[in-house]
Amino acid sequence: MTSNPSIHHYFVDESGDLTLFNKRGSVIVGNEGVSKMFMVGVAHIPDPDRVHHELETLRSGLLDDPYFNGVPSMQPAANKTAICFHAKDDLPEVRREVFGLLSELGIKVQIAIRRKAKLAEAAKISYKMGSKIQQNSIYDDLVKRLFKNLLHKADGNAITFAHRGNSPRQEALGEAITRSKINFESLWNGTKMVSPTDILSTTPSNSAGLQVIDYYLWAIQRMYERGEDRFFNLLASDYRLIMDLDDIRNKPYGEWYSDSNKLSLEKIKLEAS
């Protein structure tokens, strides 16, 4: 008797943006309202059906709670919490409930981080040399790094990406995954060890998994951007790898945080000092 094939389900989204310059070509990173970091995250969710059920049950209960009567973000017309969870738009009371639920679902998360001040420096150099850094190329590179050591752990993989802008970019995302496969196989002398992989691109309102990774990204973005670590600390054990690629104080490829090198606010502050 053969067992059912194992499928690993991954969900990918981003936090921050890749705006580096204003229309006059001046660097605006660090200005009011402009993010300092750009991050891409992937959540491995062991049981997506359970996560979908748990999130929908929680949202239904919150929408039925008289405490939230009349709250704009809880009305369907606002296209916010009534439709799907989104950490930036959700009320603090809602976030607290979501964070409490996420900690019980066995989720594993990896994050890749670029510091936009360093990207702006690189963009200036590239421009002087007659080329231009493409935003999609930065995103695709982070996707490639995140999946380099993930695609061989099950019989198959299903990856759901959040739409970027108005385009699903499935073909380009497939190429990034292919490069991840090649990079992994090169470590094993070309042996074909990577499992078949299906790719889907959709919106968070259609995917509970994308709502999940949004929350994990928001928590770590809050830590890096505002020095506020209480949200990250709620879920710290679920972050299996955080690649801070532009923190090259100790290694030329950046600082990698995991169980053996735990991320803390103090370490981030040291880098900024």
**pLDDT of the chain along its 273 residues, tens only?**
446 779 999 999 999 988 888 888 888 887 888 889 999 999 999 999 999 999 999 999 999 999 999 999 999 999 999 999 999 999 999 999 999 999 999 999 999 999 999 998 888 888 788 778 888 889 889 998 998 888 888 888 999 998 876 555 566 666 767 666 666 555 555 555 667 888 888 999 999 999 999 999 999 999 999 999 999 999 999 999 999 999 998 899 999 999 999 999 999 876 654
Q: Using CB atoms within 10 A of its CB, is residue 74 exposed (0-12), middle (13-18) or buried (19+)?
A: buried
> Superfamily for 7-272?
Ribonuclease H-like superfamily/Ribonuclease H (3.30.420.10)
Going along the chain, which residue ranges are E strands? 7-15, 37-44, 108-115, 156-162, 197-202, 239-244, 255-257
Residue 68, SS3? helix
Would you say 256 and 125 are in contact if contact means Cβ atoms under 8 Å apart?
no
CB atoms within 10 A of CB 108: 17
3-state secondary structure of 253: coil
Beta bridge partners of 156: 7
Any residues with CB less than 8 A from the CB of 260 and at least 6 apart, and which? none
Q: Is 240 exposed, middle or buried (0-12, 13-18, 19+ CB in 10 A)?
A: middle
Q: Where are the domains of the chain?
A: 7-272
Q: Which residues pair with 200 in a beta bridge?
A: 160
Residue the block writes with tokens 């879920």: 235
Return the axis-axis angle of helices 208-226 and 92-102, rounded to nearest 10°: 110
